[in-house]
Amino acid sequence: MIGVVVVLALIAIMLGGYIKKQIEASEDVAEQSKIKGYEVDLVNAEFGIQKGQMAPDFTLETITGETITLSQLKGKKVLLNFWATWCPPCKEEMPDLQNYYDRYAKEENVEIVAVNLTFRQNSIEDVRLFAKSYDLTFPIPLLHKEALSLEKYKVLTIPSSFMIDTEGRIQRQIIGPLNEETIQQYLSEIN
Supply the CATH number for residue 153's domain: 3.40.30.10
* Mean pLDDT computed over 139-158: 84
pLDDT at residue 63 tops 60: yes
pLDDT at residue 159 tops 80: yes
Does the residue 18 lie in any domain?
Answer: no
At residue 149, the pLDDT reads: 72
Does the residue 100 lie in any domain?
Answer: yes
Contact at 8 Å (CB) between 81 and 115? yes
The pLDDT mean for the chain works out to: 82
Does the residue 4 lie in any domain?
Answer: no
Does the residue 120 lie in any domain?
Answer: yes
Does the residue 16 lie in any domain?
Answer: no
Is the backbone peptide bond immediately before 139 cis, with ω within 30 degrees of 0?
A: no
Domain tally, the chain: 1
Domain that holds residue 133: 23-188
- The pTM of this model reads 0.75
Tens of pLDDT, residue by residue over 3-61, are 666 655 656 565 555 455 545 544 444 444 343 333 444 444 444 578 899 999 999 99
Does the residue 15 lie in any domain?
Answer: no
At residue 49, the pLDDT reads: 74
Does the residue 90 lie in any domain?
Answer: yes
Does the residue 7 lie in any domain?
Answer: no
